[in-house]
C-alpha cells in the first residue's frame, strides 16, 4: 500500500473541500446574479407594457381626435425609450406593422411570446432567445383589448448583450476573488505543511537512527509550539537512551567482572583441593571457606538479578503482614558482624529497647537491610567504621546506616538510586542492589535518602511508615471472612 504524505492528505481533505465550496459559491452567485438581472429587465418591460397600454387606451377613449391607428403608429415611432427598447405594434393577422426603430421586422424571427400572450388568460407572454444574427433578446408581449382596434398586441424587445456583459463582468470578478482566496489558501497551506513536514522528517530520521542503535543524533529545536516540544522530547529520549545504553554496557562489564572473580576463586581452590594428595586440615578449611563465601556472593548476585527481572516484568510481589522490624534489622547486623571484623571495620549498633511493629514484608525488608549494610562495608576501607541506628519519628520508623568510606561524588548522587548505576567502579558489586532496595522501600510507602561527601562517608536513611491501621483493617477483614 502506497504511503500517503501529509501534503496529499491535506490536498484531499482540505484543498479540494475549499475548492468545492468556492465552486458552489461561485455557481450559486452566478445563478443569483443572472436571475436578478434578467428579472429586473423583465420587470422593466412589464412596467413599460402597462404604461403603453394606458396610453393606447387613452387614445381609444377619444380623448384626442384623429385616426386611432395613426395615433398609435405615431406613438410607436416616437417611443421615448426606443434607444434601449424596441416597441412593435402587431396587427390582427399577427404581422408587425410598425416598429420604434423604423426598420421592417423580419418575419422569420420567432415570436413565441406573442403566441403565448394570445393563449394566456393574462394576455401576456415572455420569450428569451437568440435571433438569426446571433443577438440574444428578451421579448414581452401584451395584447390590446380594444374593440374595433386594428392592433392585436404590443411587443417590447430588448437586447440582452449589455446585460450579459454586466453579468459576465460580475461573475468574472467573483471567480477572480475565489481564485485569489484559493491561491492564498494554497500558499498558506503549503507553507504550514512545510513547517510540519520538515521537523517531522527530521524527527523520523532521528528516530530511525535511534532504532539502529545510534543515540548520538539530535534534532535542532524548531519553534516553541507542539513540534518544538516534540523535538525536545525526542532529544530527551535520545539522551536517556544513551545514558541507559552506557549504564547497560557498564553493568554488563561490571557483572562479568563480578561473576568472573568468585568463579575464578572457586575454580582455583577446587583445583587446589582436587590435585593436592594430602591436604592439611587448615588448608582444607580455608579453601572450603572461600568456596562457601564466593558461592554465597554468587547466590546473592543472582537473586538481585532475579529481583530486578521481576520488577521490570511486574512480577515483584510484596507480602504485607504485621512484623517486628527490629528482629529483621538485628538479624542483618548479625550476619555482617563477623565479616566487618575480618575486614577490620568497626560496626556500631545499639539496638533500641522498643520499636512498634509495622505492616510490611519481613523478608524483603531484611533484604533491604542486608544490601545497605553490605554496601556500607564494601565501600569502607580497613580501619573504617559503620554505625547503624534505629528510632521512631512520629508515625514513622527511621533506620540510619552511616559509614566512613570513600563517599559519593556530588555529580553522582542524583543517579545513585538508578539500577545498574555504579558511582565507584573500583569496588565490587553489580550496581542493582541499591536500586532493588529503593524499590522495596517505596512499595512499603517509605523513602530512601542518601547523604554523602567524597572521601568522608555516606549516610543512608530508610524511613518506613507504621501502617498499623491498615494492618488492623486487613486482619479484621480476614476475621469477618473466616466467620
Residue with more model confidence, 183 or 313? 183
> What is the model's pLDDT at position 483?
45
CA-CA distance, 180 to 27, in Å (whole number)?
16
> What is the model's pLDDT at position 290?
77
> What is the model's pLDDT at position 65?
46
Residue among 137, 122, 125 nearest 90 (CA)? 125
Give 6-166's CATH code, choosing from 3.40.50.10490, 3.40.50.300, 1.20.1250.20, 3.30.450.20: 3.30.450.20
Q: Is the pLDDT of residue 430 over 60?
A: no
Q: Does domain 237-311 correspond to CATH entry 1.10.287.130?
A: yes
Strands 86-91 and 151-159: antiparallel
DSSP letter for each residue of 371-421: HHHHHHHHT--TT-EEEEEEEEETTEEEEEEEE-SS---TTTGGGTTSTT-
Which pLDDT band, with edges at 50, 70 and 90, does 390 fall under?
A: very high
Are 356 and 396 within 8 A, CB to CB?
Answer: no
Residue with more model confidence, 147 or 189? 189
Supply the pTM of this predicted model. Answer: 0.49
- Residues above pLDDT 90, as percent of the chain: 25
CA-CA distance, 217 to 211, in Å (whole number)?
11
Q: How do residues 347-378 score in pLDDT, each as one tens digit?
A: 999 888 888 888 888 888 988 998 899 889 98
* Section 421-435 average pLDDT: 60
Q: Mean pLDDT: which of 58-62, 225-229, 233-237, 379-383 is highest?
A: 379-383
CA-CA distance, 35 to 28, in Å (whole number)?
10
Q: How do residues 222-270 score in pLDDT, each as one tens digit?
A: 667 777 777 788 788 888 777 777 767 766 666 666 677 677 777 877 8
> What is the model's pLDDT at position 422?
60
Which pLDDT band, with edges at 50, 70 and 90, does 31 fall under?
A: very high
Residue with more model confidence, 117 or 219? 117
Mean pLDDT score of the chain: 81
Name the β-bridge partners of 98.
89
Least confident piece of the model among 155-159, 181-185, 275-279, 281-285: 275-279
Are 459 and 470 within 8 A, CB to CB?
Answer: no
CB atoms within 10 A of CB 336: 21
Give 319-475's CATH code, choosing from 3.40.50.300, 3.30.565.10, 3.40.50.2300, 3.30.470.30: 3.30.565.10
Residue with more model confidence, 470 or 243? 243
Residue with more model confidence, 481 or 192? 192
Q: Is the pLDDT of residue 106 over 70?
A: no
| Residue with grid cell 529481583, as numbered in its chain | 307
Q: Is the pLDDT of residue 480 over 80?
A: no
* Section 110-131 average pLDDT: 90
Q: Is the pLDDT of residue 284 over 90?
A: no
The residue extents of the domains of the chain are 6-166, 237-311, 319-475
Amino acid at each position: 500500500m502506497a504511503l500517503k504524505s501529509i501534503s496529499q492528505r491535506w490536498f484531499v481533505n482540505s484543498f479540494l473541500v475549499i475548492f468545492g465550496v468556492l465552486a458552489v459559491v461561485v455557481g450559486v452567485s452566478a445563478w443569483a446574479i443572472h436571475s436578478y438581472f434578467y428579472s429586473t429587465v423583465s420587470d422593466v418591460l412589464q412596467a413599460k407594457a402597462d404604461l403603453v397600454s394606458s396610453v393606447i387606451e387613452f387614445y381609444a377613449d377619444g380623448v384626442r381626435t384623429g385616426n386611432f391607428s395613426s395615433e398609435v403608429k405615431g406613438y410607436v415611432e416616437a417611443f421615448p425609450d426606443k434607444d434601449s427598447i424596441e416597441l412593435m405594434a402587431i396587427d390582427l393577422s399577427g404581422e408587425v406593422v410598425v416598429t420604434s426603430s423604423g426598420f421592417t421586422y423580419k418575419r422569420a424571427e420567432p415570436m413565441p411570446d406573442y403566441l403565448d400572450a394570445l393563449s394566456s388568460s393574462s394576455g401576456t407572454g415572455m420569450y428569451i432567445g437568440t435571433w438569426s444574427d446571433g443577438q440574444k433578446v428578451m421579448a414581452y408581449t401584451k395584447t390590446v383589448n380594444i374593440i374595433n382596434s386594428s392592433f392585436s398586441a404590443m411587443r417590447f424587445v430588448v437586447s440582452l448583450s449589455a446585460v450579459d456583459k454586466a453579468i459576465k463582468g460580475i461573475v468574472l470578478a467573483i471567480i477572480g476573488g475565489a481564485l485569489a482566496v484559493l491561491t492564498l489558501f494554497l500558499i498558506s497551506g503549503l507553507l504550514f505543511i512545510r513547517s510540519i513536514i520538515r521537523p517531522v522528517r527530521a524527527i523520523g530520521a532521528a528516530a530511525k537512527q535511534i532504532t539502529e542503535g545510534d543515540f548520538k543524533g539530535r534534532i535542532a529545536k524548531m519553534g516553541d509550539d507542539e513540534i518544538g516540544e516534540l523535538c525536545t522530547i525526542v532529544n530527551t529520549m535520545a539522551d536517556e537512551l544513551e545514558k541507559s545504553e552506557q549504564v547497560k554496557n557498564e553493568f554488563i562489564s561490571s557483572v562479568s567482572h563480578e561473576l568472573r572473580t568468585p568463579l575464578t576463586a572457586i575454580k582455583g581452590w577446587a583445583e587446589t583441593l582436587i590435585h593436592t594428595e594430602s591436604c592439611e586440615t587448615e588448608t582444607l578449611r580455608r579453601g572450603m571457606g572461600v568456596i562457601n563465601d564466593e558461592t554465597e556472593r554468587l547466590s546473592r548476585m543472582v537473586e538481585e538479578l532475579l529481583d530486578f527481572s521481576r520488577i521490570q516484568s511486574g512480577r515483584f510481589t510484596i507480602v504485607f503482614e504485621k512484623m517486628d522490624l527490629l528482629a529483621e534489622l538485628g538479624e542483618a547486623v548479625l550476619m555482617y558482624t563477623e565479616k566487618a571484623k575480618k575486614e577490620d571495620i568497626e560496626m556500631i549498633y545499639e539496638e533500641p529497647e522498643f520499636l512498634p511493629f509495622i505492616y510490611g514484608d519481613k523478608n524483603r525488608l531484611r533484604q533491604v537491610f542486608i544490601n545497605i549494610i553490605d554496601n556500607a562495608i564494601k565501600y569502607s576501607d580497613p580501619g573504617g567504621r559503620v554505625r547503624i541506628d534505629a528510632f521512631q519519628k512520629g508515625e514513622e520508623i527511621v533506620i540510619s546506616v552511616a559509614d566512613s568510606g570513600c563517599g559519593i561524588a556530588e555529580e553522582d548522587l542524583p543517579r545513585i538510586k538508578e539500577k545498574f548505576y555504579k558511582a565507584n567502579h573500583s569496588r565490587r558489586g553489580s550496581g542493582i542492589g541499591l536500586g532493588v532496595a529503593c524499590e522495596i522501600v517505596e512499595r512499603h510507602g517509605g523513602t530512601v535518602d542518601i547523604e554523602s561527601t567524597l572521601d568522608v562517608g555516606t549516610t543512608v536513611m530508610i524511613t518506613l511508615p507504621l501502617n498499623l491501621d491498615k494492618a488492623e483493617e486487613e486482619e479484621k477483614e480476614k476475621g469477618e471472612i473466616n466467620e
